[in-house]
Each structure stands twice: as C-alpha cells, then as structure tokens.
A and B are shown apart, each in its own frame.
Chain A
C-alpha cells in the first residue's frame, strides 16, 4: 500500500544523508550570503537593517515586518544552508569518511575550525550578535559545570553563582591589579600588551579560587545529602555575594570596571571547547562514572572500592573550577563586574538551563544553554511576558520529559562527524 504523501518524510529522506560537515558548509554558505547581500536585501524588504537574531526581535517589535523578516530568514539562512548542504552531500560524505581515517583529533579540529568560521562571520555583522554569542558560549560552560554536580553526581547544588563570582572577582583582580589603570587598584604594574598572553593564568586563578571555595560545600556533603546540602549551598552563594558587597578592597557593591577587552570570541570559543572536551573526558572515564555510582547508590559504590569522599570532593572542585573560569570570562566579556549579578536570578538561569537541556548529558547541557540563552534574547521585546513564556516552557518540558530534553545520553564525537551515506557507518 502506498503511504500518503507526507512533508516530514520527504524532508527526512532528502536531508538524512547530509553529514555534519555538510551542514557546516551550508552554514558557511548562509553567513557568506548574508555578508554579501544581507544589507541590500534587508533594504529591499523595507527593514532598517539586517535582522540581528534571525528576525525574532524585529517580528516581535513590529508585527508588520513579520513577512519581510521571514522572507529574509528564508532567503539568507534556510535556502542557502539547505541547498548547499544537500548538493554537497556526496562530496562532504566522501571527505567525512576520508577524515575518519586520521586520528580523531584531526577531523574534530577541522569541524571546529569550520564552526568557528561560521560563528565569526555571523557575529562580525553586529556587536550585539558578538556579545550574545560570547555570553551563550559562557553559559554552555556554566551549564556543563553545574551538570557535573547536579546531573552526574545528583546533588542539588545552588552555589554556582557563588563559584562564578569567586572566579569573576579573582580573575578581575588579577587583570585589573596588574594590567590596567583602575580606580580601585591604581595604575598598571605590567604593560597591558603583555596581558592577553597572561589572561589564561588569570582564568586559572579564578577557577582555582572557585574550587577552593567549593571545599566549603564538598566537606559538608560527606554527611549531608539532598535538601539539606541544597540549603548549605544556597547559604554559600549568599555568603559570597554579601562578602563581596562588603569588601571595599574589591569595589564593594559598585563592583569593578575597566577590564581590558581580552575575552574576545576566539578566546571564549577556545575555553568553551576546552571545557566541553575535558568534562566529556572526565565523565566518560571510569573515574568520572564513579560520580554516577555515588548518585545512584552510595553504599554500593563504597562496597565496590569507590572512594566516595574523594569522588564528591573531585566533583565539587571540578564543577566549581569551570564555573570560576566561566565567571572570569563573563567579567571580561561585560568588562564590568558587580556582586549583584551573582544572585538568585543567575542561579535560576543556570538551573533552568541544566534541567531544560537534560541531566547527565553533555549534549543536553549544550542544547539547554544555547536554546535558553537565545530564547531569552529573542523574546526580549516581549518584556515581562518573556518571564511567563520561558518558565511555561520549562514546566512543559518537566511534564513531558522529567529529566530534561536530552538526558542520560553519551556524547560521541565520532557519531556526530560520521558520514551519512550508508557507507562507512560502522565506525
């Protein structure tokens, strides 16, 4: 019997053969088109400038421009990306299968370079895009690092903004104290030109300080679990916040500013990739899976020679380290940091990203962080209604997928970059 014509089936059979490399190529084509004709096309369609976030903001602000924005998105992004991806599929499949013969690092670097190219070209067109993109990447790091504690180890930690604040302040003090003329720390000690090479050390310092702070949660976690540990961690967050507010040496509630512009897109992209890579390595090793064992049954873990205390300390310190690095980058992206940023609002944001994306999953964290960050920006024109729509979405996800969109899934790079033409799928 012939199946009825279904649009979804056609789309699936047309695009299922496109490998990840093909989509990257498509994306590259789309941003190239935008670079070449975006401005003229926007003028032609009666829009004042190129829509910044796929037309979402324009559509919500001026409903009359919906057709124009939709056409723009279709012509500039959807059509070029799909056509190039589909047409190039035979070639990209061949390249993908050839790349797989090399050690996995090389094809991954190749894909990442392409991805970076797309992001760079896309964000090149407006400062707003650049900022949004960098903040999104930072929230990927944050979400992933919180997932180590809340997802992989299953403790409900609320102290992430606190870790982030520690990292942000430690890194800020490092750069402002040494490399910038600042109202709190006085003139620069070292030449600022040297700074961008030393910036990684500042971030490491931030991560280290955050990890040190995490000991305050890790030690109580030996004896307390669940709600009580959540309360301890919440208390920690408030302690950090009010401590910084009352420390005049680091600017008090007014915070610190005049950070040099070191957290550029390449730097943030590099740190995000490093974070994903290291966390993925960790959670897929047996040493890292001990976190899951401690979460699912601590007594059984002990009986199977797992040092549960060490495991907990490692999880907290590791999660906090990356939160600290993300905090350091965050301060340098905004080029301003004050204690008020690291409060309940931030906590709700990160927790939402973790639980929306999915527990115990690197994919989930990336999806959760990217989708909620972009959604938050895209719905900005709705003002107060944004805070109705996003929580509503969260409620729906919690009802239909209680552990998040993509939970408990192993992140497999080889699967992502494999060719999809039926040949060489058995890698």
Chain B
C-alpha cells in the first residue's frame, strides 16, 4: 500500500482550475520530485495535500486513510510535514524555539502543567530541547541555536525550516524548492542534508525543484512527476 496516494485531485480557485486530475503515489522511503513551470500549480498541490486548501474533487489517502477535510495541524501531526517556498519562520523566536515548537502535538503536560511549571512540564521541555539540539546539529545549525531567526544567513534559515519540519517526526517530508536562491556550496550542503535525512530517518520525500540537473542527472529521484 502506498504511503501517500492522491487520486483524481482537482482544485478550482473561483473559475480557474489550478490543479486538474492529479495522481500521485509515494511509497514509504521513496524520493519523488515534482517539476513544472512557474504557475503550474506545484505549490497548490502541496497546499492541497497539507490541508491548507481543500480539493474541489478527488481523494487523498495517507496510510490508507482519507485526510481530506482535516485541519492542517492534524495532517501535520499524522506525519506529513513540509517546508515553504518563501520562508515562513517566526521572526521573534530563536532557532531553538522553532524546532521545539514543532513538537507541539507531542507535548504531554497540558495547560495546567504549563501554568504551574510542573515537574513533568520541565522534564519534557528539557527532553524536547535535547532533541531539538540534535536536529539542529544534524542540519548544521547547532551554533545558531540561541539566535533570532532574522539574524542568521539565508541558507541557515532554510535549514531551520528543515529541522523544524523534521521535529514533527514526519513519515513524509514535502520540500517546496529547498534550494531556491542558494549558491553552489550551500546547494551541495542542502543536498547532503536531504540525503542524510532520507537515509538515516528513512523518510519519504516529495520535493518541488527547479534545478533539473539536481533532480534528474544525479539520479536523485526515483520518479519525477510533471505535466
């Protein structure tokens, strides 16, 4: 059974059909690329899968269950995590807090624990901090942990998004142009990170990428999906 299965998905923005009869099947642990010219609806497909828009027609099955109509946070908690094409970071929060925040749905201490700073709350906060630092080291951002996000380099910001997406413990990671605006060096680093993530965490990855060289030549993707 496919991890993520999209059948006959279409979406209309008013009178404009942005996505028409889209099909997709991703097995767990597979890397799949999505290409297409600007305005083809690639990001819309991401938004439909992650629940930001609700498809006009069609079905989305994740691990055999329909996720159409669920709230984005519920879909994310089930194991579909994403990054954004234009960075969407929280500008008044530290890098470490970004990664900790992505553990929100896994927090077990509840409101009362947070209000009174219960022992359970403190232990969990310490545990997620350790986990977050581990993820930041993994993407090479460990030294920025206490920095505010606007103060760190652009490519590091992209890696924060990556670490944050990983902290939700996804089964599939949706990357929306993870290398946009990067120089060759940063590009190579990002590719390394994506490979490490794929290998060590065994995630399925579905990515939008404009650099065909990356997607095709180096045999990156098991499949390329386009129009």
Q: Which residues of A contact B (CB under 8 A)?
A: 278, 281-282, 285-290, 292-293, 295-297, 299-308, 314, 360, 408
Cross-chain pair count, CB within 8 angstroms:
106
The 0/1 profile, CB within 8 Å of A marked 1, for residues 99-138 of chain B is: 0111111110101001111000100010010000000000
Chain A residues lying within 8 Å of B109, measured Cβ to Cβ, are 285, 287
- With most chain A CB atoms within 10 A of its CB, the pick from B72, B76, B77, B105 is B72
Q: Given A289-B97, A296-B90, are A304 and B168 also a contact pair (CB < 8 Å)?
A: yes
Smallest beta-carbon distance A372→chain B, Å = 24
Q: What are 23 pairs between A and B in contact, CB < 8 Å?
A: A281-B115, A281-B117, A282-B115, A285-B109, A285-B117, A286-B107, A289-B93, A289-B97, A292-B93, A292-B97, A293-B90, A295-B90, A296-B90, A296-B91, A303-B82, A303-B84, A304-B73, A304-B81, A304-B104, A304-B164, A305-B102, A306-B105, A307-B73
In the complex, what residue of chain A is closest to B51 when comparing beta carbons?
Answer: A302
- For B117, the chain A residues whose CB sits under 8 A away are 281, 285
Which residues of A are found within 8 Å of B18, using beta-carbon distances?
A: none
Does chain A have a CB within 8 A of B143?
A: no
Please, how many angstroms separate the alpha-carbon atoms of A150 and B50 in the complex? 29
- A307: B residues at CB distance < 8 A: 71, 73, 104-105
Most buried by A among B82, B116, B117: B117
Residue from the set A289, A303, A308 with the largest chain B CB neighbour count within 10 Å: A303
Q: Please give the number of chain B residues whose Cβ is less than 8 angstroms from any Cβ of chain A in the complex.
A: 38
- Kindly report which residue of chain B lies nearest to residue A154, judged by CB atoms: B92
Q: B residues 149-166 with Cβ under 8 Å of A?
A: 164-165
From DSSP, what is the main secondary structure of chain A's interface residues? helix
Chain B residues, Cβ within 8 Å of A301 = 73, 90, 101
State in angstroms the CA–CA spacing of A236 and B121 once bound together. Answer: 35
B221 contact set on A, CB distance < 8 A: none
Query: Is B227 part of the binding interface, using a Cβ–Cβ cutoff of 8 Å?
Result: no
B52 interface residue per 8 A CB criterion: yes
Measured between beta carbons, the chain B residues less than 8 angstroms from A299 are 52, 72, 84, 88
Contacts of B165 in A (CB 8 A): 304
Give the residue among B84, B104, B125 with the most A Cβ atoms within 10 A.
Answer: B104
Contacts of A303 in B (CB 8 A): 50, 52, 72-73, 76, 81-82, 84, 88
Measured in the bound complex, the distance between the Cα atoms of B93 and A304 in whole Å is 14
Are A305 and B77 in contact (CB-based, < 8 A)? Answer: yes
Contacts of B223 in A (CB 8 A): none
B101/A278 in contact, CB under 8 A: no
| A288-B114, A302-B72 known; A408 vs B102 contact (CB < 8 Å) | no
A-facing residues in B65-85 (Cβ within 8 Å): 71-73, 76-77, 81-82, 84
